[in-house]
Structure 1
Amino acid sequence: MTGDPRFPGATILPFEGKVPKIHESAFVAPGARIIGDVTIGPEASVWYNCVLRGDIHRIEVGARSNVQDGSVFHVEGPRPDTDGEPTIIGEDCVIGHMAVVHGCQLENRAFVGMGAVAMDGARIAEGGMLGAGALLSPGKMIGRGEIWIGRPAKYYRTQDDAQIEKIRFQTERYCQLAQKHLAELRAATQG
Structure 2
Amino acid sequence: MMFEHLGARPRIHDTAVVAPTAVISGDVEIGPGCQVLHGAVITAEGGPITLGEYVIVMENALIRATAANAVHIGDHTLVGTLASVAGATVGEEVFLASGARVFNGALIGARCEVRVNAIVQRRSVLPEGTVVPIGWVATGDPARLLSPDRADDIAAAMPELDFPGHVFGVDRDTPDLMVQLTERYGSSLARHADDRQV
With normalisation by structure 2, the TM-score equals: 0.68
Structure 2 SS opposite 1:52: strand
**Structure 2 counterpart of 1:90:** 74
Partner of 1:180: none
Paired residue for 1:109? 93
Matched, 1:132 2:116: yes
Contact 1:125/1:143 (8 A) holds in 2: yes
Give the alignment of 1:116-155 within 5 angstroms: 116-149=100-133, 150-153=135-138, 154-155=144-145
Distance (whole Å) between structure 2 residues aligned to residue 107 and residue 22 of structure 1:
20
2:24 aligns to what SS in structure 1?
A: strand
Cα drift, residue 76 of structure 1: 2.5
The answer on 1:25 being equivalent to 2:25 is no
Aligned residue pair count: 140
| Amino-acid identity (%) | 26
* Pairing 1:60–2:41 present: no
> What secondary structure is seen at the aligned counterpart in 2 of 1:57?
coil
**Counterparts of 2:20 and 2:89 in 1: how far apart (Å)?**
26
1:12 aligns with 2:2: yes
Q: Kindly provide the CA deviation profile for residues 29-76 of structure 1, in whole angstroms up to 9, marking residues without a partner as x.
A: 121000000000000111100000113111111100101000011123
Partner amino acid for 1:36?
Answer: G
Conserved? CA contact 1:147–1:155, under 8 Å? no
Question: Does the 8 Å CA contact 1:105/1:123 hold for their aligned counterparts?
Answer: yes
CA distance in 2, matches of 1:60, 1:15: 15
Matched, 1:74 2:64: yes
Structure 1: how far apart are the matches of 2:66 and 2:17? 26
Gaps of 5+ in 2: 139-143, 147-198
1:176-191 matched pairs, under 5 angstroms = none
Deviation (angstroms), 1:151: 4.3
Per mean C-alpha deviation after superposition, the further-off stretch among 147-156 and 128-137 is: 147-156
Structure 2 residue identity aligned to 1:112: L
The superposition leaves residues 75-120 of structure 1 with CA deviations (integer Å, 9 ceiling, x where unpaired) of 232xxxxxx1101001000111010100001111111110010000
RMSD: 1.3
